[in-house]
A and B are shown apart, each in its own frame.
Chain A
Amino acid sequence: MKSNNVLKENEKITAIKPIKSTKVPKQLGSIIKKTLLYIALTALAILCFLPFFIMIINATHTNGEIATTLSLTPGSALMVNYKRLLESQPIWNGLLNSLIIASSVTVVSGYASALTAYGFSKFKFKGNSILFWILLGTMMIPTQLGMIGLFQLVKTFKLLDSYLPLIIPAIASPASVFFIKGYTDGAISESLIEAARIDGCNEFKIFNRIVLPLIFPSVATMSIFTFISTWNNFLIPLILLFDPKKFTLPIMVMLARGTYQTEYGAVFAGVAISIIPIMIAFIFLSKKIVGGLTVGGVKG
């Protein structure tokens, strides 16, 4: 495969510049260069994957094995480790809690951000651009700044241990609005909206029935990022949740580590349960995720 590729490239070079006569050493040089590059890139890829590999392998070994030997093949203690983990943390419960929160946040943030983006993109009300700048400015504020105030607010409304204060704030997701607005600017034409108005659609119906389906690709891309970052969120749930039954997956994995200081196998199993769903999702969505990054990134 590789040599084929190199050959093709050289053919192209020869086709363009047939005058060059000292080709042989150059060809050799480029093959060596390319091979070295592949070796370096592959080594780096292995380093990226190695910690996950060790995690999966170690989740199947006993604590004794983990402490004494460096294993590269799976062991037989997976179920033992898993049962030990379940003694301290209802890990699937945590997974379900994380799933509920992350899905709700994704839906709420997706719909609200699309609505906000459409409002900014297609309506020329007074203060449109100033408000949009303010919206972008809110991205710069660190969440921790209002953490104490947020805790007191949630406590006053007796919403500690409720998922609502973890979900509702997602209505204000400036990064999503920014991304979806960029898409809406290009995807929705004024004449389309005018036509719908003439047909007697009201404004909400226009948004729900016509605009939302058309800008949905951008909402979907943003939803992947929203879901993953909510799934990974640790600090805010740590502050607002007190009932062990309501803890999210990252909190439970942290607690398992606190409980089982030297029971590596059980903790590795917990870490694996929190990471493997993301791995599976990434296998299916990697193109979309990587593509989505650059669209948002280049603008900055």
Chain B
Amino acid sequence: MAKARINKEKYGLLFIAPFFITFLIFQLYPMIYSFYVSFLKWDGMSKKVKFVGIANYARLFSDQIFIKTIANTWIMWLGGVIPQMILALTLAVFLNEARLKGKDIFRAVYFFPNLVTATSIGILFAFLFDWQAGSVNKILMNIHLIKEPINFLMSENYSRSIVSLTSFWMWFGYSMIIFMAGIKNIPEELYEAATVDGATKTQAFFSITIPLLRPTILFSFITSLIGGMQSFDIPYALSRGAGDPNNATMTMVMYLYRTAFVNNNYGYGAAVGYALFLIILVFALISFKFINRNADYE
């Protein structure tokens, strides 16, 4: 009987095997292979493969475009995520507290943009902000805020802002739903106790909601960081893959794609990929540390 039982447990290994075999073939092997390629000068097709050591990595530091793509990625991510988190938190508090009719409808409508194909959204926003045919310029002119249409997509700052705005618009509803669930988990008695002690709603928000919601905020922040550093679809669609104007909306992944798959420089493209991974890893760890250290003070 005992022996039969041990044999049964081994079926578990059989059941999880497909996952790990697939992971090894389609994720781990390609990762290791990319790492190997990052030490080569190779166009991906010919037999002309040259080992160049760390030259590809050294080149990253002097490559002005790559450095600009790091800055672009960060600026566009921060420009989206900060208002996204603030609005999501505010909405979550209001929607959770008040007994509102149609709460579910608001929640669903705010969340919907998150589900839509990002490339389609990118194209849609590019058209909305078009210089000649864009609805945004028309609306602004109709209410007499501007006299001449603004050429948003030819300005570095405006086009970066549009990428931020687009991702903000796509993601605030998602963050809001996550925060609402987090707030629901905070025991009601804490708020009751605070009210008895004469705390205002604002005080309760800053001394109960925010501290207790920290793990949820951290979770949202880190997933957003990981996603934001990999940003591709929206800026690609917005700039027709070019990262225009003057590479201002070119993200790290767009640069990786262009280097490897458009310009056929596989070695350097792989190095860009590993630099991206390193950036994500370092900053994810820093955010973990930062939040944990703050927690220790309490």
The judgment on whether A and B are partners is yes
A119 and B12 within 8 A (CB): yes
A123 and B9 within 8 A (CB): yes
A84 lies within 8 A of chain B by Cβ:
no
Q: What's the dominant secondary structure at chain B's contact region? A: helix
Least Cβ–Cβ distance between B17 and chain A, in angstroms? 8
Which of A2, A147, A203, A271 contacts B273, CB < 8 Å? Answer: A147
A220 lies within 8 A of chain B by Cβ:
no
| Minimal Cβ-Cβ distance residue in B for A224 | B115
Q: How far is the CA of A250 from the CA of B229 in the complex (A)?
A: 21
Q: CB within 8 Å of B: which of A22-46? A: 34, 37-38, 41, 44-45
| Minimal Cβ-Cβ distance residue in A for B222 | A300
B276 and A145 within 8 A (CB): yes
Q: Write out the residue numbers on chain B whose beta carbons fall within 8 Å of the beta carbon of A15.
A: none
A282 and B270 within 8 A (CB): no
Q: Taking A70-B142, A147-B30, A148-B270 as contacts, is the C-beta distance between A203 and B8 under 8 angstroms?
A: yes
Q: Taking A1-B101, A148-B260, A149-B37 as contacts, is the C-beta distance between A275 and B117 under 8 angstroms?
A: yes
| Minimal Cβ-Cβ distance residue in A for B232 | A235
Q: Write out the residue numbers on chain B whose beta carbons fall within 8 Å of the beta carbon of A287.
A: 104
Q: Write out the residue numbers on chain A whose beta carbons fall within 8 Å of the beta carbon of B23.
A: 138, 172
B180 and A148 within 8 A (CB): no
Count contacts on A: residues with CB < 8 A to the other chain: 91
A37 and B26 within 8 A (CB): no
Which of A123, A249, A253 contacts B123, CB < 8 Å? Answer: A253
A41 and B106 within 8 A (CB): yes
Q: Write out the residue numbers on chain B whose beta carbons fall within 8 Å of the beta carbon of A145.
A: 31, 34, 273-274, 276-277
A239 lies within 8 A of chain B by Cβ:
yes
Which of B31, B124, B229 contacts A141, CB < 8 Å? Answer: B31
A228 and B115 within 8 A (CB): yes
A48 and B173 within 8 A (CB): yes
B247 lies within 8 A of chain A by Cβ:
no
Q: How far is the CA of A260 from the CA of B13 in the complex (A)?
A: 53
A149 and B22 within 8 A (CB): no
Q: Write out the residue numbers on chain B whose beta carbons fall within 8 Å of the beta carbon of A146.
A: 26-31, 33-34
Least Cβ–Cβ distance between A278 and chain B, in angstroms? 6
Q: Taking A169-B22, A271-B120, A294-B178 as contacts, is the C-beta distance between A48 and B33 under 8 angstroms?
A: no
Least Cβ–Cβ distance between B191 and chain A, in angstroms? 16
B117 and A119 within 8 A (CB): no
B269 and A278 within 8 A (CB): no
Q: Write out the residue numbers on chain A whose beta carbons fall within 8 Å of the beta carbon of B297.
A: none
Q: How far is the CA of A102 from the CA of B15 in the complex (A)?
A: 24
A172 and B124 within 8 A (CB): no
Q: Taking A146-B27, A148-B34, A234-B118 as contacts, is the C-beta distance between A67 and B132 under 8 angstroms?
A: yes
Q: How far is the CA of A172 from the CA of B28 in the complex (A)?
A: 12
| Minimal Cβ-Cβ distance residue in B for A47 | B169
Q: CB within 8 Å of B: which of A260-300? A: 262, 264, 267-268, 271, 274-275, 278-279, 282, 286-287, 289-290, 293-294, 297-298, 300
Q: How far is the CA of A153 from the CA of B44 in the complex (A)?
A: 12
A179 lies within 8 A of chain B by Cβ:
no
A116 and B15 within 8 A (CB): yes
| Interface 0/1 of A54-68, CB less than 8 Å to B | 110010000100110
B8 and A123 within 8 A (CB): yes
B50 lies within 8 A of chain A by Cβ:
no
B276 and A70 within 8 A (CB): no
Which of B108, B121, B178, B253 contacts A286, CB < 8 Å? Answer: B108
| Interface 0/1 of B222-252, CB less than 8 Å to A | 0100100110110011001100000000000
Q: Taking A123-B11, A148-B37, A149-B30 as contacts, is the C-beta distance between A298 and B127 under 8 angstroms?
A: no
Least Cβ–Cβ distance between B66 and chain A, in angstroms? 15
Q: Taking A146-B33, A169-B26, A275-B116 as contacts, is the C-beta distance between A282 and B108 under 8 angstroms?
A: yes
One of A75-83, A85-93, A124-132 contacting the partner: A124-132
Least Cβ–Cβ distance between A236 and chain B, in angstroms? 11
A144 and B106 within 8 A (CB): no
B16 lies within 8 A of chain A by Cβ:
yes
A168 and B29 within 8 A (CB): no
B32 lies within 8 A of chain A by Cβ:
yes
B113 and A151 within 8 A (CB): no
B145 lies within 8 A of chain A by Cβ:
no
A231 lies within 8 A of chain B by Cβ:
yes
Least Cβ–Cβ distance between B215 and chain A, in angstroms? 8
Q: Write out the residue numbers on chain B whose beta carbons fall within 8 Å of the beta carbon of A58.
A: 127, 135
A115 and B237 within 8 A (CB): no
Which of B12, B32, B91 contacts A122, CB < 8 Å? Answer: B12
Q: Write out the residue numbers on chain B whose beta carbons fall within 8 Å of the beta carbon of A48.
A: 109-110, 112-113, 169, 173
B200 lies within 8 A of chain A by Cβ:
no
B266 and A148 within 8 A (CB): yes
Give the one of B31, B115, B132, B256 with max A CB within 10 A: B115
A300 and B119 within 8 A (CB): no
Q: Taking A51-B125, A141-B27 as contacts, is the C-beta distance between A293 and B178 under 8 angstroms?
A: yes
**A-B pairs with lowest CB-CB distance, top 8:** A123-B12, A149-B30, A119-B15, A146-B30, A149-B33, A300-B219, A294-B181, A70-B138
* Beyond A203-B8, A268-B127, 13 additional pairs, beta carbon < 8 A: A5-B99, A41-B95, A44-B91, A70-B142, A123-B12, A150-B26, A151-B261, A232-B233, A250-B117, A253-B117, A262-B133, A290-B104, A298-B216
| A–B pairs, 12, beta carbons within 8 Å | A1-B101, A44-B110, A51-B169, A58-B127, A70-B139, A115-B15, A140-B284, A148-B269, A148-B270, A290-B111, A298-B185, A300-B215
